[in-house]
Structure 1
Amino acid sequence: MDHLSSNAPKGAGANALTCKLQQFTRLSLADRAALERVVAERRRTFLGREDISREGDKPTKIYVMLNGWACRYKFLEDGRRQIVAFFLPGDLCDLNIFILRQMDHSIGALTDVTVAEIGRDSFERLIDDHPRITQALWWEALVTIAIQREWTVNLGQRDALERIAHLLCELYVRLWSAGLATDGHCAFPVTQSDLADATGLSKVHVNRTLQELRQEGLIRLANRQLTILDLDRLKRLAVFDPNYLHLDREGAHLDANNE
């Protein structure tokens, strides 16, 4: 994975969802065209800090992140918030959401966000007609579960410096896989409050940890942009192993321009 620091993946200019799915399985031109059509059918924009869906809502759509950042979160009765996932461009918010009677969590926009809304009929036609897309979506769902396991380890076993460093590594690699990061640079619009709610730390502790990472010459944060100055060192500090993101599947080794 050392090449992450200097190269963008093939297909980086493509739709972020298509680019990400091709890390798992080779998609044909027809597959990619079908994905483009389904995400173009209905689009919706949400403002930063606006809820996309709320706990208790009846789910009727799959949301695909087209641009902007969002999060999955839970509120406690006293108003405390726990962020349990970040959604980046190319991510699907709850692939099998139709089986739920009501949402058991909320999804909120962290920035202005544009999503594609995919209804049940459109989604079922897509997976029925395109088995390679279905295979890629299975992999995407497995990676989502793997990320949740890693977040559990982050909260339970890593110290503050390791937690923040690990999260920065993960977000950078996920953006890279969608063609949205290269040469150590990526968008980073989350606030220190968001980081605190995702890592179980106080805002003061997050600020102190980020300052330490800066002083060590590992990162630069400015104007909602993250620059990782030494990815290998940051990975070692975080004890970060990207294997749980499963980016070495078939699609990562094939020319996306071929049938």
Structure 2
Amino acid sequence: MSASTEALETLIRKLESTSVLTEEERQAIRQLPAAIRHINPSQDLAEDGERPAHCGLLVEGWSYRYKLLAEGRRQILSFHVAGDTPDLQSLHLGTLDHGVGALTPCTFALVPHENLRRLTAAFPNVAALLWRETLVDAGIFRTWITSMGRRLAYGRIAHLFCELYLRQEAVGLAADLQCPMPLRGTDLADATGLTTVHISRVLKALRDDKLITFERRQLIIHDWPRLYDAAAFDPTYLHLKSLEC
């Protein structure tokens, strides 16, 4: 299997984590042209204000959406794992209003907008599923805003860990309450609106309460029900097929 074909299988798995594709739709996705691009940590797939001619499907690694303030402070808007297409809205909006950066070494499959438009015109169900992905993204944004505005720091971090575990589990990247978590204290701080000192205190509290172990870029959840309760977590906003059965 070529690298581009394998990359498109990642997209199929992601779409089927929330819905069902026909074999004809799967084959149409597999036939998309995809250029493979490797990006190092802290490099950008797309910059704020850019007008990309393609969408970047994340095949391997972690990326994030972000905004930079004039003084250089960063706000992380979302994290992305394999199967996500963090710049999918560029298919219709044209100009990006945020940046997409690599958190770890990343592999992206770049699919031209022109080919995606042909695919969605020929297969309305695929168009609906891609539109659904942008709506789920919007749900994640709303939930993050709620966390930063109303949850205490302990619940805020617990909520983020619950989300990132379930999103990875849905695409086969996590199991048995263990998952990759290559986030530094600065990344968590920039995503949650907390200071790195506060992040350190919360992580210690979660460890002391025997809810998690978070080290060596790995998260182990020791007590899912209690972590779930600490976060006041409601997974509805993720709209995962496995949770709707």
* TM-score, L = length of structure 1: 0.86
Structure 2: give runs of 5+ residues left out of the alignment. 1-7
In structure 1, which of residues 8, 25, 31 is the aligned counterpart of residue 25 of structure 2?
31
User: Is 1:138 the equivalent of 2:131?
Assistant: yes
Name stretches of at least 5 consecutive residues in structure 1 with no aligned partner: 1-13, 254-259
CA distance in 1, matches of 2:45, 2:131: 24
Residue in structure 2 matching 1:47, options 31, 40, 51: 40
> Aligned in 2, Cα 1:56/1:97: closer, same or farther, shift over 3 Å?
same
Aligned-partner SS, 2:31: helix
* Distance (whole Å) between structure 2 residues aligned to residue 208 and residue 175 of structure 1: 26
Work out the CA distance in 2 between the residues paired with 1:99 and 1:193: 32
1:176 equivalent to 2:208? Answer no
1:113-157 Cα offsets, whole Å, 9 max, x none, are 011111111101221222322222122121111000000101100
Which residue number in structure 2 is paired with residue 159 of structure 1? 152
Report the equivalent of 1:60: 53
Displacement of 1:177 in angstroms is: 1.1
User: How many Å apart are 1:80 and its aligned residue?
Assistant: 0.8
Q: TM-score, normalised by structure 2?
A: 0.91
Residue 249 of structure 1: CA displacement? 8.0
Distance in structure 1 (CA, Å) of the matches to 2:118 and 2:109: 16
Question: How far off its partner does 1:199 sit?
Answer: 0.1
SS at match of 1:92: coil
Distance, in Å, in 1 between the alignment partners of 2:95 and 2:128 is 27
Q: What whole-Å deviation, never above 9, does each CA across 1:213-248 have from its counterpart, x for those lacking one?
A: 111111111221111111111010000000111114
Q: How many residues align?
A: 238
Calculate the aligned-residue CA RMSD, in Å. Answer: 1.8
Q: Secondary structure at the match of 1:72?
A: strand
Q: How does 1:203-218 map to 2 (within 5 A)?
A: 203-218=196-211
Q: Structure 1 runs of 4+ off > 4 angstroms?
A: none
Cα pair distance change 1:74/1:133, threshold 3 Å: same
Mapped partners of 2:180, 2:30: distance in 1: 24
Question: % of aligned pairs identical?
Answer: 40
Q: Select which of 9, 31, 38 maps to 1:15.
A: 9
Cα deviation digits, residues 19-71 of structure 1 (max 9, x gap) = 22113321122222332332x62111101111111112222211111110011
What secondary structure is seen at the aligned counterpart in 2 of 1:15? helix
Q: For each residue in 1:170-227, what CA deviation from the matched residue of structure 2 results, as whole angstroms up to 9, or x when unmatched?
A: 0111111111111011111111100000000000100110111111111111221111
Q: Is structure 2 residue 185 aligned with structure 1 residue 192? A: yes
Which structure has the higher relative contact order (CA within 8 Å, separation 6+)? Answer: 1
